[in-house]
Structure 1
């Protein structure tokens, strides 16, 4: 929306952008984070001793593929004016494959794994393209606020989809409930697709180049590839951006590992049924709504880096609870503490990175952001899976996350604030 004032939160493009956060949260909650994660481990993979490693391999592989593709696809979006088409295509593919998870039953390890990998890859790429729109619809002084509102509204979407699916999930993984349980994947896919439609319509042509009739062609592909290589070779010209990405590498590694393995951890170490885990997840979401929005307001007022560093201290507390806590109340303390920072850290980091970019290269650099996040996320889940399998203790695997959070915090303190000019769009 270059050059056009965005005077109200009710501007259709802003609302459509926020609503996409509302829609995609259903996928991340009910597929990789909780419902399908537990289903794959216990039913598809049989729940044997190596099931943790199998699931961690699928998660790691999907994130690695997405990470390496994201900068190239982001560059293709920028160079060819194809961002909206690629964003829409990836979202639709993810929704379709998520719906097809209904057909995955016990023993379908390979087919179920492939469907999940491709769905997770397209989801991750769609998100990196979606995040790049933030640079175009809000100025730096309001970016943390809008990013956090989107994340908070996303929690509402996750909660609503959870409510819709709960009657199907409450029977757990009992044999006579598996058909109903799998139906939750189809509902999640439909939810994601339906509430993405406003973004498909309203975000079209938000950048002037996207109004052109650029077509996918070999020359555009080669130019996009050349731009990515040029950016890597000239990394010193973007030193602060790449320093931020290194910090994000470690922070994202730890957060994604917590997200992808909390459900399995609670089931294994506290004997929690799926329904109780979903309730705890709901608690995280409910607490996260106001906390994420407050973090965004504070980020715009007192500094985004300060807010992020404060949330990392809380993350250390979450990990320590998981490593040492054994009392039955610990899962609830953990859920409450995680709710304070799960959305806050990621939303403010998203706005902090957006502030550092120019509009013409936003999709490419958010692709590098995805690369840092996804490739780093290979190491965390894989390390967790290897340690948990080798030692028989998931707690020891989680203890490694303290190093990731600490390293990310130290590097982030060295990142200089963005000096980029505020662009003309106002929210």
Structure 2
């Protein structure tokens, strides 16, 4: 005999909209960490702290291992992504099997927010503290995003998901731009505030953690746990004791029973690798190839943040008219055009670089939001968190091929223009792979109802 359960999918309209509005606020809460900490401030600052601690040869020695100070930040990010790959499947299995997703989300959010706020104490030569806080914050951020994304099919009916996902991305980009403007005012005018440059950076880092903590209260108040139906005498099974890798193998084994869903993930892995590489290498291209200064690059980041919010909403509307798959395919064509245009940008011309930032912003948020909503249709009921763990691993855990191609292209040609245009291959191949996925048939094969337009 089954125990009483919460409905697994969307409920009545008023309750559903209340949850959706709460869900948006987690994007608002955590996107500031991604923008202020990862994109702008922490990399250069932690590198300077590591260099202050380096020996005469420029090396630091975490755990007795010689590491060049300039590489410490990159290694810390890589370590956090590796740990995320191990942690996500365990958290996902616990969430799906117990139904207690909200406490896990809250735990990850507040551990990450606490670690980010603790970066205020990162000064002098405390590079080990910085690396540890970065790893804790980043693992918490990635796992919480996996749990957050897995709510989408539970709080939105099939025909609503493109719009709901797009609004979430728009909320996040708007918050990132808002706080980044305030941070840059503090950073640029630190002397007038009686602060050193380092103190201003530490306040900016800590502000991201406080923002994350304060606004996480809203989704935790409005989102609901959904408990899976099971025999009253049978407790929810615990995650496999072999750890994250064993649970990941189980999820991938289940994915093989849904080859069309796996086909979408492969396409997403390819074109998203191109997206992530453009995001991480655009500043290198701007500074090294185009000769642009730091102020120009920061203004370009703000343009991308602001327009990505508008682009996510605009592409959500296009998806309602043309379907998510066609809109994503159109965005991949736009991405290819952006890459080719970047190849021809003149040096020392900030206006043209700003035009490129505008184009990136308009397609960035929408392509990410619609990919998330389209994937949500392809997940078997009751396995949302496990399947979104695989999605997050595709998003963050294996985005290494694009930077490798970029680096090899530069090494062979000596030109960042050739390196940037080489990334067009990711969008072309991703377009071909996605165009071959019959998404309506994939939705039905996953046991879900297909919306009228997808």
Instruction: Please state which band the TM-score falls in when normalised by the shorter chain.
Output: 0.7 to 0.9
> Deviation digits for residues 358-403 of structure 1, max 9, x if unmatched?
3310000000111122232133345545766787655454344222
> Deviation digits for residues 270-310 of structure 1, max 9, x if unmatched?
45454443322221222222221121122233121111111
The corresponding residue for 1:378 is 400
Distance 2:400 2:215 in 1: 30
- The structural deviation recorded for 1:260 is 2.7
Distance 2:39 2:172 in 1: 15
The corresponding residue for 2:303 is 283
Is 2:145 the partner of 1:127? Answer: yes
> Deviation digits for residues 109-149 of structure 1, max 9, x if unmatched?
44423322332121111101100000101111111111001
1:202 to 219, 222, 245: 222
1:404 to 421, 426, 445: 426
The corresponding residue for 1:32 is 38
Is 2:390 the partner of 1:368? Answer: yes
Distance 1:383 1:213 in 2: 53
1:356 to 369, 372, 378: 378
Is 2:64 the partner of 1:20? Answer: no
The corresponding residue for 2:359 is 337
2:272 to 252, 257, 264: 252
Aligned residue pair count: 421
Counterparts in 2 of 1:394 and 1:159: CA distance versus 1, 3 Å: same
Is 2:330 the partner of 1:310? Answer: yes
2:369 to 342, 347, 361: 347
The corresponding residue for 2:160 is 142
Pairs within 5 Å for 1:89-168: 89-105=107-123, 108-168=126-186
Counterparts in 2 of 1:177 and 1:285: CA distance versus 1, 3 Å: same
**Any conservation in 1 of the 2:10–2:154 contact (CA below 8 Å)?**
no
**Any conservation in 2 of the 1:59–1:381 contact (CA below 8 Å)?**
no
> Secondary structure of 1:141's match?
helix
> Secondary structure of 2:159's match?
coil
**Any conservation in 1 of the 2:92–2:386 contact (CA below 8 Å)?**
yes
Counterparts in 2 of 1:325 and 1:9: CA distance versus 1, 3 Å: farther
Counterparts in 2 of 1:118 and 1:321: CA distance versus 1, 3 Å: farther
2:92 to 74, 77, 83: 74
Mark the structure with the bigger radius of gyration. 2
Is 2:209 the partner of 1:189? Answer: yes
- The structural deviation recorded for 1:41 is 4.6
Aligned-pair RMSD on alpha carbons? 3.5
> What TM-score do the two structures reach when normalised by structure 1?
0.86
Distance 1:152 1:373 in 2: 18
Q: List alignment gaps of at least 5 residues for structure 2.
A: 1-6, 53-57, 59-67
- The structural deviation recorded for 1:186 is 0.6
Is 2:288 the partner of 1:261? Answer: no
355-364 vs 97-106, greater mean Cα deviation: 97-106
Q: List alignment gaps of at least 5 residues for structure 1.
A: none
Greater share of helix residues, 1 or 2?
1
The corresponding residue for 1:300 is 320
139-148 vs 384-393, greater mean Cα deviation: 384-393
Distance 1:39 1:211 in 2: 51
